[in-house]
Homo-oligomer: A and B are copies of this chain.
Amino acid sequence: MSEALVGAFRRERLIRFSDCDPAGIVFYPQYFVMFNGLVEDWVDAMGIGYRRLIAEQRIGLPTVRLEADFRAVSRFGDSVTLALEVERLGTRSLTLALQCVGAGEELRMQMRQVLVTTSLETHRAIDVPAALRTAILRGNSDGG
């Protein structure tokens, strides 16, 4: 998973003062907050609507597993690219490959994240909604 994500959904993100720690670099949990925002943007860009999914359909996307590698530091003021690709679409889960890339294509951090679709009433897994499945299979709005 260390090669660049071809055909991925991408967004630029400025590293904020509030993302950084006393060492002047991104406080690592903040990468997960940034990627959470990227997943929101991706769901929105596919026309599904993240808010609609969560607040109206009451479907959650909790993380059940993740593996992350931190390769290089990001400093505040850096402009980074966040990229997302679906590695695997299961019956009740999605496996995403995510990257944060800095200037000169430097890989800063990457992760593989398994999300399950759940009912927010019961917190139990449910099938990936048909509309989301179709949108993912069609390819996301930015990617190839």
Is A40 at the interface (CB under 8 A from chain B)?
yes
Chain copies in complex: 4
Closest Cβ–Cβ distance, residue A58 to chain B (whole Å): 9
Contact status B28-A18, CB under 8 Å: no
**A56 nearest CB neighbor, chain B only:** B77
Candidates B17, B51, B68; contact of A77 at CB < 8 Å: B51
Could you say which residues of chain B place their CB within 8 Å of the CB of A14?
40
From residue 1 to 45 of chain A, which have CB atoms closer than 8 A to chain B? 14, 16-18, 20-25, 27-30, 32-33, 36-37, 40
Q: Count residues on chain A whose CB falls below 8 Å from chain B CBs.
A: 42
A interface list, Cβ under 8 A from B: 14, 16-18, 20-25, 27-30, 32-33, 36-37, 40, 49-52, 54-55, 60, 62-71, 73, 75-77, 120, 123
